[in-house]
């Protein structure tokens, strides 16, 4: 694919977004939750862990600790026991307990609704805040950049960066703000179903004519 102008990249991004919306009309947050606190905790647990595994653990966790007050008062070791199978359980349990404590002490037990307030919580970074704001509060403040989103943004020629913050900035410049939250879900769905890390299925990809990386990786199945 020849070098693009910014206008051409914007136009191609629009076509990519339209195609993804058609392919995944039901794209949504894969972490099961019933309120902002549950989504916040589930997102913390999802680091280096599959959403499927997190969804297996959270019902038990939230039954035992249904509120921020309950999580803040819990023994860290008890939280660790419940979440152990998600990996890195000690650091995650510490983050959950600290975050819940901050919510109780600073925000009267309610998950805050701004980027500045969310990222003031111990254990919460911009990515986690974006997940909560976009999916619990319907606020398109930024783009969630996980491994799938970063990989596809680079393959699709929407960003050249490895740094998630820089990838997010690139995507925010190319995609209308109203679609920022949805974009992450669309790219994650496509990454899981078609554009895998090790075996991208370019031959079956509806975006291959819009993708500068199509058929370029060392996979015999990708031959045109």
Which residues are known catalytic residues?
Answer: 127, 146
Quick check: 195 and 151 in contact, CB under 8 A? yes
From CA 62, how far away is CA 154, in angstroms rounded? Answer: 37
Coil, strand or helix at 32: coil
Do residues 33 and 39 make contact, with C-beta atoms less than 8 angstroms apart? yes
Longest dimension (CA), the chain: 59
CA–CA separation, 29 and 181 (whole Å):
9
């Amino acid at each position: 694919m020849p070098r693009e102008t910014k206008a051409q990249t914007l136009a191609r991004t629009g076509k990519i977004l339209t195609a993804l919306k058609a392919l995944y009309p039901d794209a949504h947050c894969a972490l099961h939750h019933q309120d902002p606190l549950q989504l916040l905790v589930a997102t913390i647990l999802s680091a280096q862990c599959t959403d499927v595994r997190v969804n297996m653990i959270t019902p038990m966790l939230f039954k035992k600790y249904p509120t921020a007050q309950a999580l803040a008062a819990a023994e860290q070791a008890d939280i660790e026991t419940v979440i152990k199978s998600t990996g890195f359980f000690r650091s995650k349990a510490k983050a959950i307990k600290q975050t819940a404590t901050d919510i109780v002490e600073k925000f009267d037990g309610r998950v805050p609704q701004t980027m500045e307030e969310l990222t003031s919580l111990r254990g919460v970074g911009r990515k986690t805040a974006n997940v909560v704001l976009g999916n619990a509060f319907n606020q398109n403040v930024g783009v969630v950049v996980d491994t799938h989103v970063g990989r596809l943004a680079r393959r699709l020629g929407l960003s050249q960066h490895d740094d998630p913050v820089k990838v997010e900035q690139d995507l925010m410049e190319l995609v209308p703000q109203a679609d920022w939250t949805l974009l992450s879900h669309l790219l994650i769905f496509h990454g899981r179903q078609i554009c895998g890390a090790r075996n991208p299925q370019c031959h079956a990809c509806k975006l291959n004519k819009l993708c500068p990386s199509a058929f370029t990786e060392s996979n015999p199945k990708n031959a045109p």
